[in-house]
Structure 1
Amino acid sequence: MEIQHHTVEQVEGWSVGRLDQFEGFTSPLVVTPTAGPDLREYFEAHRPLIKEELHRSGAILFRDWRVNTAADFYEVMSAFSDQTLDYTQRTSPRSQVINKVYTSTDYPPDQEIQPHNESSYAFTWPLVIAFFCLTEPATGGETPITDNREMVKHLSQSTIELLEKKGVSYTRNMLDWLGLSWQEVYQTDDKHKVEALLKKDGIHFQWVDESHLRINWHRPAFQMHPVLQTKGWFNHAYFYHRLNQDPRLLDLVEETDLPFIIRLGDQSEITEAVYNELKQAYKAATITFPWKKGDVLILDNMLFSHARKPFTGQRKILVSMAEPVRFEQLV
């Protein structure tokens, strides 16, 4: 197969439609096969075109292709990118399935995961994140996605200016009995290696005790997209806000020891009013659809955030990340 087309709609062997229409904005593309169902083959032949469309629309759902196993999914992602990533500097429990393919966050099924862009707080993050439905849930378990460009349209100018001016301050506490330990986060038992990494990235750190590492750093609320060269919303200000955290945590630890603490860059609080504004803005721009076994959903991680609904049954969604972006590239 050779690339002979200018848009994804012109590629022979597949059909391009859209998810159900959502009020006020355009929903992502849905690509289904009309000839051979080997998605890896199409990715190899049309990689530049697919990437171009992904960075334009932000999300593409590939449905009814022959992707049945974790190995199939890894082959598809390897055809899409030469830079698939390991899951490092971890913030949530995930299990590696095969090389560079992981389970999505291993939280209990009754818990909802709020919208976020993968690793937006980090020094390195994936430009691309992909999800594969290995097992459909019995009920629920959707992965809602939000176009950040649409979400920002629902924010007041004062909130945008506040976050643009002050940025976001992140504090993380790693304790061996609550959340992920520092050994799990950095995938090493060597404190010197951890300290070297933190110093390299300019992160302030404190060993509260042998099992408790506290780190603090600052990030812009809006980041430059390395391909589009446009600035967009890219942070965890909403996700890690105290109002999204389990209130039972405060029965276990002091507020200063919560796993994540979010403030504005000048250490002032992100108020409840701003939190509620962000909550409503995400809600207004979110797209939710049911998973179908074999689905492959690819997101531009700097354009679209993702979440998770509670579910019943044996839901198994796998994830793979690609195309590393380093913060220092953009400043």
Structure 2
Amino acid sequence: MAEPTDQRWSPTVIRPEDAGVAPTAAGLVEHLASVGDLGAELTRAKALVWRGFSVRPDEFDAVIDHLLPERWAYRHGNSPRTKVGDIGANVYTSTEYPPEYTISMHNELSYAARYPSRLLFYCQQAPSGGGATPVVDGARWLAALDEEVRAAYRGGVRYRQNLHDGHGFGKSWQETFETANKADVEVFLKETSAEFEWRADGSLRVEQSGPSTVVDPRTGAEVWFNQSDQWHAAGLGDETARALAEILAEEDMPQSVAFADGTPIPAEYVVQVRDRGLAEAVDNDWSEGDLMLIDNVLVGHGRRPFTGPRRVLVAMSG
């Protein structure tokens, strides 16, 4: 596989000429079938991009089976997504935030006890401008933070979700857990050791602690691994945070976060985490038919603003 030429870390890009195959979905399948240990290659590269194979939506199912043969449902996910029914099992739209917004760097479901080890992105429709998926080496992100911030986070963080029963801010518990059966939700949450409470209005409150960093056992690398900047009001921007604070107490917001001992996380720490993660990121620009596979522990991802229609799909696995 082709090595990145930039001195700074970036994803490894594989083109048909690199793999010695035709620039088609069939050529990509041929290439993937010849890779001896894709897991080891992904651990080494942290992110792999297949560019120039022009994979069509009706060809995607055959390709994804080589990359993620066992795909997870997006249960306990906090991002707004739509499940795609005509392109393979457990495939979703990427986060459906307005195109003018940047989505900050994060590891998917890092707030949950059970998180995927791999994410696969597929560009079905490239935007007319912008819309890159930035990726960041988690070790570089951690190293970019001030020692004061790293020290404050060492004890971990505690996440809180308030999931309404169909009417309210944010996602409902039915959307979040892909079921309308409370018993199924309770089984799922008990398996993750989360604390939860059904409230009188039918909503669900969930709390659970998580680390700020993890040490990857395969590489020995310590990486930044939490979503505090996305769960904290300061990460929303001043105007949005003020508007929410006028309507809701912090404990009643759709999601919030504190240090593991309950101590509030200073807003300036949250902003530093968000901004330095984005500053360390490398943009992956999309062309239609491109795919990117990332290690969800070693690498965080986000989204740049864009113009024109954009459709990037995502799937995940353990």
Same fold (TM over 0.5): yes
* Bigger strand share: 1
Please tell me the residue identity of whatever aligns with 1:179.
G
2:211 is matched with 220
Structure 1 outlier segments of 4+, above 4 Å = none
Q: Which stretch has the larger CA shift, 204-213 or 53-62?
A: 204-213
Alignment of 1:317 with 2:317, yes or no, is no
- Which amino acid in the other structure matches residue 52 of structure 2? D
Confirm or deny that 1:160 pairs with 2:181. Answer: no
**2:34 corresponds to:** 45
Map 1:104-183; keep pairs closer than 5 Å. 104-164=94-154, 166-175=155-164, 176=166, 177-183=168-174
After superposition, the Cα gap between the structure-2 partners of 1:273 and 1:238, relative to the gap in structure 1 and judged at 3 Å, is: same
For structure 1, which runs of at least 5 residues remain unmatched after alignment?
A: 1-7, 9-15, 325-331
Residue identity (%)? 31
State whether structure 2 residue 190 is matched by structure 1 residue 204. Answer: no
Shift in Å, 1:230: 4.3
Give the C-alpha shift of residue 156 in structure 1. Answer: 2.5
Partner residue of 1:189? 180
Which residue in the other structure is 1:257 paired with?
Answer: 252
Instruction: Give the drift of 1:229.
Output: 5.1
Task: Find 1:55's aligned residue among 43, 46, 52.
Answer: 43
Measure how far apart 1:127 and its partner are.
Answer: 0.6
Matched residues in 1 for 2:191 and 2:33: separation?
Answer: 36
CA drift at 1:17: 5.0
Tell me by how many angstroms 1:305 deviates.
0.9
Answer whether contact 2:9 2:137 (CA < 8 A) is retained: no
Is 1:32 matched up with 2:15? yes
Name the stretch that deviates more: 125-134 or 266-275. 266-275
Instruction: Indicate the residue corresponding to 1:242 in structure 2.
Output: 233
Q: How many residues align?
A: 303
What displacement does 1:226 show?
Answer: 5.0
Deviation per CA, 1:134-156, whole angstroms, max 9, x where unpaired?
11111121111111111111122
Question: Do the aligned partners of 1:44 and 1:80 also contact (CA within 8 Å) in 2?
Answer: no
* Counterpart contact for 2:130–2:307, Cα < 8 Å: yes
C-alpha contact 1:174 1:181 (8 A) present in aligned 2: yes
d(CA) in 2 for partners of 1:293, 1:86: 25
Q: State the TM-score, normalizing by the size of structure 1.
A: 0.85
Deviation at 1:200, TM superposition (A): 2.7
Alpha-carbon distance, 1:304 to partner:
1.0
**Cα distance change of structure 1 residues 108 and 158 upon mapping to structure 2, 3 Å threshold:** closer
